[in-house]
Chains A and B, each alone.
Chain A
Amino acid sequence: MHNLRTGVKLIWLPVIAGLLWVSAAAFVAGRATKQGNAVPATDTIPWPASFGLGKAATPAEIKAWDIDVSPDGRGLPAGQGTAAAGKIVYQTKCAACHGKTGEAEAGVKLLGPALVSDSVFVGRKGNTIGNYWPYASTVFDYVRRAMPYHAPQSLTNNEVYAVTAYLLNANKIIPANAVMNAATLPRVEMPARKYYINDDRKGGPEVK
């Protein structure tokens, strides 16, 4: 340390100051453009344009991992299903935790939550797909990624479409003969959606 210190001659000071100024300017610019070229102003060495770490992900790698579905239908796979087919899937794979029909039963403690009710939000007893869920795409996405609890991702896409159709029909949202697929599922309107509002609190004295 001592050698290093004495080795820094005064002549270098303007250069060091210049480097610091450049890093600070790059930091401010990065923040302003929101594009994340931010370089911490406190770093002693200017950051490279890229650290050269990691590797490019191939389209096949992305496809293998990317299973999410958006409300507009992005991410929905090929395949289809109806409530009738879904009822069989439900009874074999879901009923053990969510009850015979998916409805809450008096005096029965279910392992999983009840999923089925009417679609009336006000005065409901417990949140279900019918009275609380705002998007049908979420039913497909969640069943495909996380259900059944003890064997997630074991259902085929057709089975997921079918059990989604069963649940939407049981909650009186779609008719019994409706076919659920990548085209029809995003068009299903959920009764509870109109109740959703974004939290707009930002701190301050008000209690909301």
Chain B
Amino acid sequence: MEQNHETNNSKPAKLSRRKILGGMAAAGILYIQTSLGKTLKPVLPAKWRKSDTSPNDLITPGPGPSKVGGRSPYERPQRLPSDISSRTPLQDLLSPITPSDLHYERHHGGVPNIDPEKYELLIHGMVDKPMKFTLRDLKRFPAVSRICFLECSGNFRSGKENMTAQEVCGLTSQSEWTGVMLSTLFREVGIKPKADWFLAEGADAAYLTRSIPTSKAWDDAMIVYGQNGEAIRPEQGYPARLLLPGWEGNMNVKWLRRIELSDQPFMTREETSKYTYPVKDKIRQFSFEMDARSIITSPSYPAKVEPGWHEIRGLAWSGRGKVTKVEVTTDAGRTWQVAQLQEPVLSKAHTYFRLLWYWDGSETEIASRVTDETGYTQPTLKQLVDYRGADMGGYHLNPITSWQIKRDGSVLFKPESRK
């Protein structure tokens, strides 16, 4: 467009080949539009027919506009699925929003198919007016959009060097969510003073349930039907899910069908036998917030680096508020440098960090550690083991993640022992 504009409105002293082609194309379009059906095949000098990018190909028009776009065929980011979850390819992402079709999944009974016209949400229990809301009703309430991360609390894998960021911690993703504040609905039904907890139940085959403190509803909980500008994906809870910014993934109940207010937690399977973990000689329950965490996503396995300048890039986040600082080491932890944070830094949101690094070709380790606005700094695995014990299970682990840089430039994950 710019090229055509220039060609039409000015007389450049020296016309480049590109500009002339642009001008010819503009003229061709004009001719076709005015000649009603006549086709014109512009005859160009043979030396202009070659493509700049593929010198051996003739220039031919590409596909025209379409109803739904897709990725370049050269870009193939993929989730990494297992039977019960799929992981976001963190190493392939360039900024904090996760494309909706790459958002991580964790299901407890598969993805249900829910007709939005038949969808209803029931709110009952310790309320003044038990009520049912259709999806239309939910969409008519005052709406809010918010960017925040969602992370599974079982988001740490280790054990071998050939692991990608996706394998190590790909159960975290970020979207812009749109919906109604839960407090708006609670105001509508009237919450009894003693209703300190509510049960959220999904419409999946597991009818997954979690108990949630009512205070979260007065704080920032939402019922969302929008994800990145469109209806939320079936895997993320279509047509509506609970969103508890900063809190462990499974509490953000998908395909939300029922909320029951109560004076006590319900002690569901997902908050007793699952999503709890041994700490010393006890079992720690109701860990809601996701602890601050960061990971370098570039360079990371299976990348190879060459000596020279690089920009170390990665993600940092905290379920307790904003990221205030990310430090990066490029000498295996001897010194730490403060990285640049990509604005805007949002509360309970993935935040990109970047640090320039000159690799001199010698073996080293790189790692990042985040500090959040409560003053909490991401710990080492050893610090976690020292407090919780080696039998600490797999939930709420947020250790500093190191990548080994080998002499040949290969980048390998650094697995650490719990013992």
Interface string of A12-55 (1 = CB under 8 A from B): 00000000000000000011001111101001000100110111
Instruction: Give the shortest distance, in Å, between B107 (CB) and chain A (any CB).
Output: 12
On chain B, the residues within 8 Å of A138 by CB distance are 267-269, 272-273
| B218 with A57: CB separation less than 8 A | no
Residue among B108, B199, B269, B377 with the highest chain A CB neighbour number at 10 A: B269
| A199 with B132: CB separation less than 8 A | no
Partner pick for B188 among A53, A146, A149, CB 8 A cutoff: A53
Instruction: Give the shortest distance, in Å, between B266 (CB) and chain A (any CB).
Output: 5
Instruction: Give the shortest distance, in Å, between B119 (CB) and chain A (any CB).
Output: 13
Does A166 lie at the interface of the complex (its beta carbon under 8 Å from any beta carbon of B)? no
Question: Which of B64-72, B256-264, B405-413 participates in binding chain A?
Answer: B256-264
Complex-state Cα separation, A135 to B272, whole angstroms: 8
Does A207 lie at the interface of the complex (its beta carbon under 8 Å from any beta carbon of B)? yes
| B132 with A54: CB separation less than 8 A | yes
Partner pick for A38 among B218, B260, B284, CB 8 A cutoff: B218
B196-252 with Cβ < 8 A to chain A: 199, 201, 205-209, 215, 217-218
Given known contacts A53-B188, A152-B207, is B109 in contact with A196 (CB within 8 Å)?
Answer: no
Partner pick for A68 among B141, B260, B282, CB 8 A cutoff: B260
| A197 with B284: CB separation less than 8 A | yes
Range, interface on chain A: 35 or more
On chain B, the residues within 8 Å of A43 by CB distance are 142
Complex-state Cα separation, A15 to B155, whole angstroms: 53
Does B129 lie at the interface of the complex (its beta carbon under 8 Å from any beta carbon of A)? yes
| A36 with B268: CB separation less than 8 A | no
| A66 with B124: CB separation less than 8 A | yes
| B187 with A37: CB separation less than 8 A | yes
Complex-state Cα separation, A70 to B57, whole angstroms: 71
Q: Which residues of B are in contact with A by a Cβ distance under 8 Å?
A: 108-109, 122-124, 129-134, 137, 140-142, 183, 186-188, 190-191, 193, 199, 201, 205-209, 215, 217-218, 257-258, 260, 262, 264, 266-269, 272-273, 276, 279, 281-289, 320-321, 372, 374-377, 379, 383-384, 387-388
Instruction: Give the shortest distance, in Å, between A161 (CB) and chain B (any CB).
Output: 17
Q: Can you list 17 A-B pairs, Cβ within 8 angstroms, ordered by A?
A: A31-B218, A36-B187, A38-B218, A50-B188, A55-B132, A57-B124, A57-B132, A62-B130, A68-B266, A70-B264, A133-B273, A134-B283, A135-B272, A141-B269, A146-B205, A146-B208, A203-B289
Complex-state Cα separation, A142 to B209, whole angstroms: 9
Partner pick for A146 among B132, B137, B183, B206, CB 8 A cutoff: B206
| A40 with B269: CB separation less than 8 A | no
On chain B, the residues within 8 Å of A34 by CB distance are 193, 215, 218
On chain B, the residues within 8 Å of A206 by CB distance are 376
Partner pick for A134 among B131, B272, B281, CB 8 A cutoff: B272
Complex-state Cα separation, A145 to B281, whole angstroms: 31
Does A78 lie at the interface of the complex (its beta carbon under 8 Å from any beta carbon of B)? no
| A205 with B376: CB separation less than 8 A | yes
Complex-state Cα separation, A53 to B383, whole angstroms: 51
Does A84 lie at the interface of the complex (its beta carbon under 8 Å from any beta carbon of B)? no
Does A122 lie at the interface of the complex (its beta carbon under 8 Å from any beta carbon of B)? yes
Given A70-B262, A129-B273, A208-B387, 17 additional A-B pairs, CB 8 A: A34-B215, A38-B187, A43-B142, A53-B137, A57-B131, A66-B258, A68-B268, A71-B266, A72-B264, A138-B267, A146-B108, A146-B207, A146-B208, A195-B281, A197-B283, A199-B284, A202-B374
On chain B, the residues within 8 Å of A71 by CB distance are 264, 266-267
| B131 with A56: CB separation less than 8 A | yes
Complex-state Cα separation, A198 to B213, whole angstroms: 13
